[in-house]
Structure 1
Amino acid sequence: MDLLAPLSGIAAVVVPVFLIAALGFGWSRAKLPYDSAFITTFAINVSTPCLVFSSLARLSLGGDDLLIMAAASIGSMALAGLLATPILLASRLPLRVYLPALSFPNGGNMGIPVCLFAFGETGLGLAVLFFATLAVLQFTIGPALAAGRTDVKQVLRTPVIYAVALAVLVLTTGFQPPQWVTNTTTLLGNCAVPLMLFSLGVALAGLRMEGMVRSLAMSALRLLLGFAAGWAMVEILDLEGTIRGVVLLESTMPVAVFNYLWALRYNNAPQEVAGMVLGSTALSFLTLPLLLAAVM
């Protein structure tokens, strides 16, 4: 029984993530009704900001812990990009196409649910903080890398940024929001995790892998670079416990779907990025049990 306990714990994390994403995948392939525009708009503008606010506002972390987690998030993504750059240059592959995909992990659709199932509410809050930092970078540096410029108006229209600011204000001042605010944001935030996973499955169903060998090679590189960058950051910052596990998990997530959306928007070889999203997500379902065994 003792030998089966770790496997049971890992299965408790991996299986729900896989099944909900698979449900979205099958739903799309069955051509059942799915209003992608509404779901995406609702998730970005309502449920995810509410999840960010309600999760961060409940965290029992000091200001130093918040800064450390934000630094670990920024550092892991920056280091992954730095490690990827000479590899891409040596391979004569365009930085604008591949660098964002190798730098930004799927810390939202996949990372948040995995951390929730692995580490409970504390893991959820820390993962949300990682994702919030990622979202800010992805809406500033992401377009800059993909199109050579930063869309300031797009950044200012990102509700997650304001949710983070309000949550940090609550944490630093000790102000207690009215119970109706807490209940409302918690209720709406609870929609975010299943919507993220379901939407991930729907998005994957619409992608096609072209240039399979290169896509798989770059997908494996994303996971390796993410783990290496995450490992370096937890060692540099001397992180332990849940924070260490969350940073490693989030850093090693597959290519974020938003990378494909940016590539599509700027006509920046979207089929290549789509292959990386699909390939890295498939590989991550195979490697996730090993990763969980290392951090749990």
Structure 2
Amino acid sequence: MSLLSALTSSILPVLSVAGVGYALGTVRDVDVDPLAVVSLYVLSPALVFHSLATTPIAGGTAATLFVAVGAFTVLMMAAAEGLGRASGEGRPTLGSLVLTSSFPNAGNFGIPLSAFAFGAIGRSTAVLFIAAQSVLMYTLGVYVASRNGVGSTREAALKVFKLPLIYAVVAAVAARAAGVVPAAGTPAMETLKLTGDSAIPVMLLLLGIQLANTSSGTPTRRVSPAVALKLFVAPVVALGVALAVGLDGSIGRVFVLECAMPAAVTPLMLTVEFGGDADGLSAADYVSTAVLVTTLLGTVTLTVLIWLLQSGAVL
């Protein structure tokens, strides 16, 4: 496995579809809300249910993965909080730094990239990762975003119970435990598979359109701590967590890859709802700039990381 192979087999397919979305968002005024609703309430739940119902990942390993996601998130939050305070960042910029450093784009970017890089086991692992992260995003993430006292933390945290993805996880686990998962090849499973597979290109198109609509309202140097934490520190922390909890093989490698994804878009929504301004700097501008910069630079860092993971040099 060479760097060129990692780039052409994993990164370029993802970037190509996202690039189409970016081009579309540049030349047309595309409303992403309807697409996002379809993805969130139909395509993603189907992807989650089918992936988990058919995954070879054992229950104990899945539980370990959930623990690893939680540990990684808390450690990255602590590192970002410490760095932000040491550099003199105040609220709400400090919250933006913590959010962009702690929550990778494990869905729109991570699921497709993991699937291209590691196949079916990559997709299943990435789905479990995003399920765990969604819970953390609407609990710890909401707390961080709302520390300046804007918006209702309780109401936002309750949104986690409105996410269809969570119930798709519960339904898949219950179906497997009860032994009632439809057999592969049956109309029910083929329908779920077809619907779920549609989520991957739609996620990438959404990512491209969102990036086209993202404005860089913050100087790049101001977000450099978040970029460094997200692209360079996060993979090291993830590797340490994987070794500590015993995640190895393909599942451990996908976990590290997911943690190294660029900054997620969801924190931008949280900062829009809860963020404010400090010294003329918008929290939303900070996050949007970090998302844009880490996505662009992540092409290089993720290519190298995939090469290391697929070659067996890491885990």
Aligned amino acid, residue 279 of structure 1: V
Provide the rounded CA distance (Å) in 2 between the counterparts of 1:186 and 1:105: 25
Aligned amino acid, residue 287 of structure 1: T
Q: Deviations over 1:163-214 (max 9, x none)?
A: 1111111233332237343222211111111111111111111112221212
Partner of 1:167: 172
Indicate whether 1:256 and 2:264 are aligned.
Answer: yes
**Given the two structures, how large is their TM-score scaled by the length of structure 2?**
0.88
The offset of 1:239, in angstroms, is 2.4
Q: Which moved more, 1:264-273 or 1:126-135?
A: 264-273
Structure 2 CA distance for partners of 1:282 and 1:48, relative to 1, 3 Å? same
Indicate whether 1:294 and 2:302 are aligned.
Answer: no
Structure 2 CA distance for partners of 1:226 and 1:92, relative to 1, 3 Å? same
Alignment of 1:21-40 (within 5 A): 21-31=18-28, 34-40=30-36
Partner of 1:45: 41
Measured on the aligned residues, the alpha-carbon RMSD in Å equals: 1.7
Q: Which moved more, 1:63-72 or 1:125-134?
A: 63-72
Q: Which moved more, 1:58-67 or 1:7-16?
A: 7-16
Provide the rounded CA distance (Å) in 1 between the counterparts of 2:250 and 2:177: 22
Alignment of 1:112-191 (within 5 A): 112-148=111-147, 149-150=153-154, 151-177=156-182, 179-191=186-198
Provide the rounded CA distance (Å) in 2 between the counterparts of 1:110 and 1:152: 24
**Given the two structures, how large is their TM-score scaled by the length of structure 1?**
0.93
| Matched residue SS, 2:75 | helix
User: Which residue of the other structure, out of 204, 212, 227, is the alignment partner of 2:211?
Assistant: 204
Structure 2 CA distance for partners of 1:240 and 1:203, relative to 1, 3 Å? same
Q: Deviations over 1:5-59 (max 9, x none)?
A: 663244110111111111111111111x633111011111111111111111111
Conserved? CA contact 1:107–1:250, under 8 Å: yes
Provide the rounded CA distance (Å) in 2 between the counterparts of 1:241 and 1:50: 26
Conserved? CA contact 2:6–2:303, under 8 Å: no
Structure 2 CA distance for partners of 1:220 and 1:199, relative to 1, 3 Å? same
| Matched residue SS, 1:38 | helix
Contiguous gaps of at least 5 residues in structure 1: none
Aligned amino acid, residue 280 of structure 1: T
Contiguous gaps of at least 5 residues in structure 2: 148-152, 277-282, 311-315
Q: Percent identity?
A: 31
Q: Number of paired residues?
A: 292
Structure 2 CA distance for partners of 1:225 and 1:171, relative to 1, 3 Å? farther
Alignment of 1:240-255 (within 5 A): 240-255=248-263
Provide the rounded CA distance (Å) in 1 between the counterparts of 2:79 and 2:238: 12
Q: Deviations over 1:269-288 (max 9, x none)?
A: 10011100001111101211
